[in-house]
Amino acid sequence: MIAPIDPTTYADALARIQALWNAGASQVGHPDHAEFEGLYAALTVYEVAEGLSAPQQQFQIDTLDRLQWFVGKKADLQSRKVRLRAQYDAMLRDIERNEEHLDWRYAAQAEQVLRSNLGKGRSLKLLTGTVGLRKSAARVGATDDAALLQALEAAGGDLATVIEPKINLTALNRLIKVEGDVAYLVSEGTVAELPGLSIKPASETFFVKAGKEGEDQE
């Protein structure tokens, strides 16, 4: 049962319903669908009472024509996001090229001037910003993961403790199938009782994709 929304709980309710939406709880069959529906109804009642939104009866997506309108609006926003990202990426690349050229041309000279003017500290405050030397600790890395892994395993002792196994979830999902909210071992047909194993039931997620002329419907 969802408690009535008030000004003190409104922000938290909005955050919660957004999280539920992102998790696919708006779809029938999702474990949290009932909570989503109840919270949506409670938010609608509060927003209408407070004048934050028009009563839902004024406009609803209840016909194919209105669904077409909704999909068109979503598609337009999606295409605008794509164009904006492309413009942003192009502008960012241009800025990065300018910065790289500036560093190539002047960074070595700037570092020399800095070092000659440093006192006991490692940075110098100027009117336009701060310039300094950032110290990085010495460290090792890997040029050949397989060779280093083999060497660490052979060395044993403390060196072997740095090896961390990683679960291949793609392969694990081929060995285990989920029916409802229960996981079964494919090879044996028995329940997979594995500590730390989480189960995500199958679900459907509502989506809108911008259409292209001549494109087949999914």
- Judge whether 29 lies within some domain: yes
* Under 8 Å between Cβ of 149 and 169: no
Q: Give the model's pLDDT for residue 101.
A: 96
* Under 8 Å between Cβ of 13 and 5: yes
- Judge whether 35 lies within some domain: yes
Instruction: Kindly state the tokens that stand for 77.
Output: 């926003």
- Judge whether 179 lies within some domain: no
Domain tally, the chain: 2
Range of the domain at 101: 64-119
**What is the dihedral angle through the alpha carbons of 201, 204, 207, 209, rounded to the nearest 10 degrees?**
100
- Residue of 63 and 90 predicted with greater confidence: 90
Considering the entire predicted model, what is its pTM?
0.51
Domain check: are 43 and 70 in the same one?
no
Domain-ending residue, one of 103, 119, 135: 119
pLDDT in tens, 7-54: 889 888 888 888 888 888 888 778 888 898 898 889 888 888 887 765
Q: Give the model's pLDDT for residue 18.
A: 86
Domain check: are 79 and 38 in the same one?
no
- Judge whether 168 lies within some domain: no
Q: Of the ranges 32-46, 170-184, 194-208, which one carries the lowest mean pLDDT score?
A: 194-208
- Judge whether 104 lies within some domain: yes
pLDDT in tens, 150-173: 999 898 888 888 888 888 899 999
Q: Give the model's pLDDT for residue 205.
A: 78
Closest Cα partner for 183 from 171, 197, 195?
A: 197
